[in-house]
Amino acid sequence: MTHVHEDFGKMDANGTTFGKQKFVAVSKSLALFLLLLFVGCIVATGLLVYHLSSCQSVPQVEESKLLMLNKHSNGDITTVATADPSTESETEEYQFSTTTTTEKSKTEIEIDDVRLPRSVHPHSYNIKLIPFIQEGNFTFHGEVTILINVTVTSDNITLHADDLIIDNILVYEHLQTNKFLSIKQAANETKRQFLIIYLNQPVEAGKQYYVSIKFRGILNDLLQGFYRSSYKINNETRWIATTQFQATDARKAFPCFDEPALKAKFQISLARLKNMTSISNMRKIGPYSQPVRGLSEYVWDYYEESLPMSTYLIAFVISDFDCLRNGTFSVWARPSALSQTKYSLQIGPQILKFYENFFGIKYPLPKIDMIGLPDFPAGAMENWGLITYRESVLLYEDKVSSKGSLQRIAHVIAHELAHQWFGNLVTPVWWSDLWLNEGFATYVECLGANAVNPHLKELDQFIINELHGAFMLDALQSSHQISIKVNNPDEINNIFDRISYSKGAAILRMMQHFLTMEVFQRGLNKYLKSRMYKNAEQDDLWNMLTQQSHEDKVLDPNVTIKEIMDTWTLQTGFPVVTVQRNYEDSSVTFSQERFLINNENRSSNSVLWWIPITYMDRRSVVKSTWIGAEPAITLNDLNISKDDWLLVNINQTGYYRVNYDDRNWNLITAQLQKRKGHLAFDPKNRAQLLDDAMNLASVGYLDYEIALNVTKYLKQEREYVPWKAVFTSLDYMYEMFVRTAHFDKYKNYLLTLLRDVYKEIGFNESEDDQQLILYLRFEVNVRTCKLGVRDCIISAIQQFQTWKNSPYPDKRNLISENLREVVYCTAISVGGQEEWDFAWQRYLNANVENEKETLLMALGCSKEIWILSRYLEWAITEHSGIRKHDSARVFAAVANNAIGQELALGASSMSLSSIVRSCTIRFNTQMEVDNFKEFVKSRENEFGVALRTAQQSIEQGEANVKWMSKYSKKIIKWLSNSNT
Ligand SMILES: *[C@@H]1O[C@H](CO)[C@@H](O)[C@H](O)[C@H]1NC(C)=O
Ligand SMILES: *[C@@H]1O[C@H](CO)[C@@H](O)[C@H](O)[C@H]1NC(C)=O
Ligand SMILES: *[C@@H]1O[C@H](CO)[C@@H](O)[C@H](O)[C@H]1NC(C)=O
């Protein structure tokens, strides 16, 4: 799955940097506004907690239900279950009524119990579903027949079902289809989401049986399981029935053995209205459309049987969408958005081809469909053969969507296609290894995207888009190890976070570099081939890579990959390597310790990692060595002149920070400040030096003076990646200082750094600008306008007014698609209701999702409190025009904050986490932190999945308070001096 708020290049800026200018001038009224915003934010969080928990409370009403079995006829069962669920059946021998069970209360159930017993394995499924997608009847009827293998004789069959009404169950032996087993009772245990079928005679080991279940369910609007979505065409609502199953929601669509290791073959049949189409993982069989008995407007679509696969990868969609096709590759969209599928359709097959070569295994399914859905909880989902997306990461409109969204689309497609092998073909045994799936896809998506956009320096951008973000979270005490024990659905959903994705990707990248790409690829290929159509654990991958690297002699025969990688996957956090040179004998000592934001008890931290060290000097020859899970190593006689710098962690391929002795820092700074001297370092290393220096200083590992000196060279920096890296730290200072009396010093310094680059790349685009220049222009202009530079603000207002006065603003918009967010936001923030209402109207009318997202962010830039309050209220109001999956974006827009790092599974958990992050990012007084702590404490239960985010926010807030008291004076002093 792809997380929602990716921050590739420019998109992050869209999400993170806007609208803060309402705090630039610190006047009394603004201070008041700030207070209101803060209060409003807390209230809004409370509101949403309420709002979300009330949606979800429905299924929890009855703690545990027992489906009582009433035998209507005493005689033997003579009729075979009919495969067609639409037939009114006289064969329903069993009727179930529900009563509350007193067997086990919530607390008695041990957490490990949530796993299914292993006595029964599903072999194949036959699933038939009839969804009714009409106003007033959002339900579905279904029947599933599962062929099971019994491995241990057992008097029960236990599988998953959630939010389903079970109408009828039959169990019969394979090959003896008229011999039914007598069922004692069937219990629906809602806490564990189990359906337990107790039998009067056991199913026997070694035999196969059919379990046939008729059921009903609701096409919900919670964006999980089998759910409904809609869009409008000429004010008429069109409905869609679609699915999202990862991690544990297939059980909401049909009873099944809903664990990733229980792979089976699936045959799916879907009934649909005649004027709609259906798609699923596999190809539709023939052109047939059989009538559905009793439902004259419906017909059946039958699908080929799948290859062995996990339940969470099943998908189907029924809609009136159209598609564009390229061979066996299709992209689906609302008919009016069909032309926006061209880009995806162009790059999809190219990326697929790239992976076939990369993995050395052909894509195993006969076709692939991708579809853009109006409501979608995540960014995208890799269902095998039918990948689902939210529209904004699949659909692209030239001259409307920014170049940044072009890159984002390539990434998301590359991510999901990578999963077709890594995840779908070979699947983790259990969710504990989720990081491997997601980390891997996050890493190779860069390779896949690079294959179609080679000019984007994808591998440079990895550093700013993934690595630095992972550092940020992983430096908190409240971080977690990436390989983590999880059991119940909440715990599982909790680990779809930045640690799993970005840190996972970063350590795999590190491994690829110390193994070399060739060895990495050979090992991967062996791993995939040995486990395909089956499941694997991380140790299986480590074993294959150890074998391969010993064979190819890239690894000491006494060391295994597991030994190395376990230090990264089973331990929390990451190290800072301190480089201490001896300038007399040219030796150097590398030592390691955990890098922590809150590092008061530094010495008590004894975690050690296996760290691949790379280093070079002025001569640019890269050498390498290891710190092998030991506190320090010393290399003698490096043969570096005492006036030369030493650079460590080349291209930042290692997942660690580097600190140097002061003298080496000063040598590096001197190099950077020479005219064009910075070109001695790769842009990746410049990004690294800036990020390391500023972060080391912010937690006391390095003197701020030295760190700030590193930033001085930025006047001559013209590359996007280093700028983007340093903006994270500079924006942090912005947040900390914006409400203080000394903000002008910060502002003047930043404007000094930006002046030349702003002058050079300006506000207006030229045809032949490189894409990364477009990104840089955006980043620079965002900050230049935000800091109140007249020229910037006037350009923005002029462009906006021209658009506003044009006769057909929805049809024609001359503002560059790459600068729209700066222009809109600036104009809305200095404008009033008129500007806001105009933009809101454009939002409602827009047919391109990327444009909608841009407008949604910009609408949060208003300075009028009532407008912002109204906007927040609309965000949680049904039918306001803001989609459920976007409400978090509105909160973020209003609170003007980084939601960029938020990785999300469910719409609900995602919203709350984002909002919490949004509201707390600027906290830097003890009172704010304490208030928030209190708030969290009083509502701990309601936070659910967002609790971890809340804890992270508290820790970050406390770090901010400390930072203010420890460093702000010193920084202000440095800034004042540097401005003179
Ligand atoms: C179930 O048993 C059959 C027959 O023994 C065997 O061919 C099949 O591979 C088994 N399937 C699973 C999923 O264990
Ligand atoms: C929905 O429509 C189907 C088919 O007409 C019908 O059997 C079912 O009872 C309806 N359900 C509801 C809740 O109206
Ligand atoms: C069902 O049977 C299996 C295998 O015998 C057993 O492990 C499990 O506890 C049983 N479940 C219940 C609810 O009795």
Ligand 3 lined by 158 (C-beta under 6 Å): yes
- Residue 860, phi-psi category: left (phi > 0), alpha (psi -120 to 50), beta (remainder): alpha
Q: How far apart are CA 112 and CA 116, in angstroms?
A: 10
Query: To the nearest 10°, the Cα dihedral for 799, 805, 806, 811?
Result: 80
- 3 state SS of 128: strand
Does 732 reside within a domain? no
Ligand 1 lined by 123 (C-beta under 6 Å): yes
pLDDT at position 148 is 97
- 3 state SS of 608: coil
Does 220 reside within a domain? yes
State whether 190 and 313 are in the same domain.
yes
pLDDT at position 108 is 45
Question: Could you tell me which of 296, 301, 295, 312 has the C-alpha nearest to residue 278?
Answer: 301
Q: Which domain holds residue 293?
A: 67-320
Long-range own/partner contacts, residues 287-296 (CB < 8 A, 24 or more apart): 292/84, 292/86, 292/130, 293/84, 293/86, 293/87, 294/86, 294/87, 294/88, 295/86, 295/130, 295/271
Does 444 reside within a domain? yes
Ligand 3 lined by 152 (C-beta under 6 Å): yes
Residue 971, Cβ density class (10 Å: 0-12 exposed, 13-18 middle, ≥19 buried): buried
Token pair of 742, please? 């000394």
**Residue 751's Cα: distance from chain center in Å?**
34
For atom 3 of ligand 2, the residue with the nearest CA is: 132
In the annotated binding site for Zn(2+), the residues are: 415, 419, 438
Tell me which of 149, 175, 210 to substitute to probe ligand 1's pocket, judged by most ligand atoms within 8 Å of the beta carbon: 149
Q: The CATH number of the domain where 528 resides is what?
A: 1.10.390.10
pLDDT at position 101 is 40
pLDDT at position 70 is 29
Q: The CATH number of the domain where 97 resides is what?
A: 2.60.40.1730
Domain count, the chain: 2
CA–centroid distance, 258 to ligand 2, in Å, is 27
Q: Are 213 and 169 in contact (CB under 8 A)?
A: yes
State whether 225 and 92 are in the same domain.
yes
CA–centroid distance, 141 to ligand 2, in Å, is 9
DSSP E strands: which ranges in 694-824?
none
Among the candidates 320, 346, 365, a domain finishes at 320
State whether 451 and 307 are in the same domain.
no
Predicted TM-score (pTM) of the model is 0.86
Ligand showing the shortest atom-to-Cα distance for residue 123: 1
pLDDT along the chain (980 residues), means of 10: 46 25 28 40 44 33 29 28 33 37 44 84 98 92 97 97 96 84 92 95 95 96 92 91 95 98 98 96 88 94 97 98 96 96 97 97 97 90 97 93 91 96 96 91 95 92 95 89 85 80 95 97 96 96 97 96 96 96 95 88 77 94 94 92 96 98 98 96 97 96 96 96 96 88 93 95 88 94 93 95 94 92 93 95 93 92 83 81 78 54 31 66 81 78 71 85 92 85
pLDDT at position 910 is 44
Ligand 2 lined by 430 (C-beta under 6 Å): no
DSSP string covering 203-233: EPTT-EEEEEEEEEEE-BSSSSEEEEEEEEE
Q: How far apart are CA 177 and CA 164, in angstroms?
A: 26
Q: Are 799 and 823 in contact (CB under 8 A)?
A: yes
Which one from 143, 416, 779, 902 is the annotated catalytic residue?
416
CA–centroid distance, 362 to ligand 1, in Å, is 25
Question: Could you tell me which of 471, 344, 408 has the C-alpha nearest to residue 12?
Answer: 408
Among the candidates 569, 602, 637, a domain finishes at 569
The yes-or-no answer on residue 416 being catalytic is: yes
Helices first, then strands: H and E counts in the chain: 29, 30
Does 31 reside within a domain? no
Token pair of 118, please? 């292993």
Does 509 reside within a domain? yes
Among the candidates 544, 569, 594, a domain finishes at 569
Find tokens 């919670």 and name the residue.
Answer: 222
In the annotated binding site, the residues are: 415, 419, 438
Cis ω for the linkage preceding 247 (within 30 of 0): yes
**Looking at ligand 1, which atom is closest to the CA of residue 123?**
13
Ligand 3 lined by 154 (C-beta under 6 Å): yes
CA–centroid distance, 154 to ligand 3, in Å, is 7
Does 305 reside within a domain? yes
For atom 14 of ligand 2, the residue with the nearest CA is: 137
Sign, Cα dihedral of 17, 21, 22, 27: positive
State whether 304 and 436 are in the same domain.
no
Q: Are 232 and 220 in contact (CB under 8 A)?
A: no
pLDDT at position 43 is 46
Ligand 3 lined by 101 (C-beta under 6 Å): no
CA–centroid distance, 312 to ligand 3, in Å, is 24
**Looking at ligand 1, which atom is closest to the CA of residue 263?**
13
Ligand showing the shortest atom-to-Cα distance for residue 136: 2
DSSP string covering 618-650: TT---EEEEEESSSEEEE------TTS--EESG
Ligand showing the shortest atom-to-Cα distance for residue 85: 2
CA–centroid distance, 245 to ligand 3, in Å, is 26
Residue 97 CB neighbour total at 10 angstroms? 10
For atom 13 of ligand 2, the residue with the nearest CA is: 137
Find tokens 């699949």 and name the residue.
Answer: 394
For atom 7 of ligand 3, the residue with the nearest CA is: 117
Does 884 reside within a domain? no
**Looking at ligand 3, which atom is closest to the CA of residue 117?**
7
Does 459 reside within a domain? yes
Tell me which of 123, 147, 173, 204 to substitute to probe ligand 1's pocket, judged by most ligand atoms within 8 Å of the beta carbon: 123
Tell me which of 132, 141, 218 to substitute to probe ligand 2's pocket, judged by most ligand atoms within 8 Å of the beta carbon: 132
Q: Are 162 and 252 in contact (CB under 8 A)?
A: yes
Token pair of 175, please? 């090959």
- Name 2's bridge partners: 380
State whether 94 and 219 are in the same domain.
yes
Max Cα distance, the chain (Å): 99
Token pair of 801, please? 């007014």
Q: How far apart are CA 610 and CA 125, in angstroms?
A: 46
Ligand 2 lined by 134 (C-beta under 6 Å): no
For atom 12 of ligand 1, the residue with the nearest CA is: 123
Q: Are 839 and 824 in contact (CB under 8 A)?
A: yes
Q: Are 579 and 689 in contact (CB under 8 A)?
A: no
Question: Could you tell me which of 267, 215, 246 has the C-alpha nearest to residue 3?
Answer: 246
Ligand 1 lined by 121 (C-beta under 6 Å): yes
**Residue 481's Cα: distance from chain center in Å?**
17
CA–centroid distance, 120 to ligand 1, in Å, is 11
State whether 305 and 448 are in the same domain.
no
- Helix axis angle for 771-786 and 743-761, nearest 10°, is 140
Cα–Cα distances (Å) from 302 to 135, 270, 470, 535, in that order, read 26, 7, 45, 28
Q: How far apart are CA 340 and CA 11, in angstroms?
A: 19
CA–centroid distance, 123 to ligand 1, in Å, is 6
Do strands 329-333 and 368-373 pair parallel, antiparallel, or not at all (unpaired)?
parallel
Alpha helices, DSSP H, located in 309-364:
342-359
State whether 90 and 239 are in the same domain.
yes
